[in-house]
Structure 1
Amino acid sequence: MLYRMLAVGDVVGEAGLRHLEKQLRPLRRLRDIAFVVVNGENAAGVGLTPAQAQRIYDAGADAVTLGNHTFNKLQIKDFLEETSWLLRPANYTGRAPGHGCEIFDLGAVRVRVINLIGRCGLAWGAENPFTTADKLLGQAEAEFTLVDFHAEATSEKLAMGYYLDGRVSALWGTHTHVPTADDRVYPKGTGYLTDVGMTGPVESVLGVEPEQSVENFLGGVPGHFRTAEGPCKLQGAIFTLDSSTGLCTAVERIEIR
């Protein structure tokens, strides 16, 4: 049997969150989506609050993943411990609150979701995401495994795709907020996309007000990023998975404005 799984790119700011709340459930119905993973680490610009995480879940997400801004809003710490569907990168130090892998029971099938963070260009000492993935895949079984790899370097994401090819159902990248055009099924059956994009303002620089971003590059005084307003887009990818193999048959990039 075929199942459609949706990965949604980083939700940015209040405008992006409102757009997700408006668009996600209709999209699920229209495309018969069985399971949704949303990256929510920019819902507050940098980080997210428990209330914002709950809004993403209530909007129709089955799992909410995070990244390098996981702990920018420290009030999320207890919520990470208490909430099974909210994942932070699994290759954080073991002293960090929360967890980075969860299995969701859909009845006929189980879906494992793994959240990982890259080490190229993200300036802190995460554990090796490749060996972390090996450890997690050696644990409890599931028919499907979905991986959100929150990473800066396209080379690191591509390498991870080849490393896990045939061992996970789908792997996609988040963090750079710009969708790539390399959606494909890898040779051994893993669905892949280097970056699924973002959910937030169309007229922005990665969700930030264009004027502020330009001024920053011109050498102006830096300040807290101001998220843009205006019409939004929801970007992501639909992975069609076969329960008889646990692998991917098709990948489709999407954008809802």
Structure 2
Amino acid sequence: MNILILGDVYGRPGRRILKDQLTHLISEHQIDFTIINGENASGGNGLSTKNARELLNLPIDVITMGNHVWQQKELLETIADFPQIIRPLNYPEPCPGKGYDFFSCELKNGVTKKICVVNLSGQIFMPNLSCPFNTMAPLMDTLKKSADLVIIDFHAEATSEKIAFGYFMDGWATAVYGTHTHVQTADERILEGGTAYITDIGMTGPIDGVIGVDRQIIIDTMLTKRPNRFVTATGNVQINGIILAIDEIENKVSKITRLYETYEVEK
């Protein structure tokens, strides 16, 4: 069984490259289940209802979110219409949406796997949400008993917090992967307890900007210390993520592989 997980889809370039290439990637890598992070999919700032529908018309099974989940205010009202969208679990209650859910994946051999996808937000340099460690602790036994696989998108800034959370989940979660920083890390591995881990899976979108934004705008901001309106970068694009190869008998990751594809865009 192969699971494809793609990093933060950024703006129109990210959505467009998925429309053009996702089906090919799924076929090439014999993918059975696909997860993307969509919290930057609308202009780099949240996910609109329209763009949620656009993405879910593609072969995408789950969309996880992050600190920009409510930037498109309409999603507060419409997130319940999309059972495939998971927002960070550690938002305070009451909060629209859900922080985890269970999804069925029927494999080519007729076997069905139940996959629990969890989304959590870190605390360091991030909005002041509940502690992700303490949020997960009381749920661990229940989720593990209810699913064959538990996959966690840990949307966080600090590498130290991400690594610590990976070790905290080791032996319990099937996989813990980081999102948010938009820069793919080269530390993919399977931890001692069997949990697959990577600090950040990267970004799907413009490669020639600064984490998705037009680079000159960011340079000007750095030089002048004055705020600027962010505009999505143009030019060549990338698809970043990971592929998890799952041992169907043990329900554990046998291999974690980074995916880094680049595509030239005609000027």
Tell me the TM-score range normalised by the shorter chain: over 0.9
Q: Who is 1:232 aligned against? A: 237
Q: Is the 8 A contact 1:238 1:252 kept in 2?
A: yes
Matching residue's letter, 1:80? I
CA distance in 2, matches of 1:63, 1:38: 6
Q: Who is 2:94 aligned against? A: 95
Q: 1:30 aligns with which of 28, 31, 36?
A: 28
Shift of 1:51: 1.2
Matching residue's letter, 1:139? T
Does residue 129 of structure 1 match 2:127?
no
Q: Who is 2:56 aligned against? A: 57
Q: 2:256 aligns with which of 210, 228, 251?
A: 251
Matched ranges for 1:34-113 at <5 A: 34-44=32-42, 45-107=44-106, 108-113=112-117
Matching residue's letter, 1:133? M
Shift of 1:55: 1.7
Does residue 169 of structure 1 match 2:174?
yes
Q: Who is 2:193 aligned against? A: 188
Q: Who is 1:114 aligned against? A: 118
Percent identity between matched residues is 37
How large is the Cα RMSD of the aligned pairs? 1.2
Q: Is the 8 A contact 1:180 1:195 kept in 2?
A: yes
Shift of 1:220: 4.7
Q: Is the 8 A contact 1:169 1:241 kept in 2?
A: no
CA distance in 2, matches of 1:225, 1:58: 28
Shift of 1:247: 1.6
- Determine helix, strand or coil for the equivalent of 2:217: helix
Q: Who is 2:141 aligned against? A: 138
Q: Between the two structures, name the one with larger relative contact order (CA 8 Å, sep ≥ 6).
A: 1
Shift of 1:224: 2.3
Deviations 1:155-189 (A, max 9, x none): 11101111101111111000000000001011111
Q: Who is 2:17 aligned against? A: 19
Structure 2: gaps of 5 or more residues: 107-111, 263-267
CA distance in 1, matches of 2:76, 2:197: 31
Q: Who is 1:215 aligned against? A: 220
Shift of 1:246: 2.2
- Determine helix, strand or coil for the equivalent of 1:24: helix
Matching residue's letter, 1:116? L
CA distance in 2, matches of 1:74, 1:199: 23
TM-score calculated relative to the size of structure 2:
0.92
Q: Is the 8 A contact 1:101 1:136 kept in 2?
A: no
Q: Deviation above 3 Å: which 4+ runs of structure 1?
A: none
CA distance in 2, matches of 1:69, 1:75: 13
Shift of 1:79: 2.0
TM-score calculated relative to the size of structure 1:
0.96
Q: 2:8 aligns with which of 4, 10, 13?
A: 10
Matching residue's letter, 1:213? I
CA distance in 1, matches of 2:119, 2:11: 21
CA distance in 2, matches of 1:145, 1:242: 14
Shift of 1:136: 3.1
Shift of 1:223: 2.3
Deviations 1:34-62 (A, max 9, x none): 11110010112111101111222222210
Shift of 1:193: 0.7
CA distance in 1, matches of 2:242, 2:260: 8
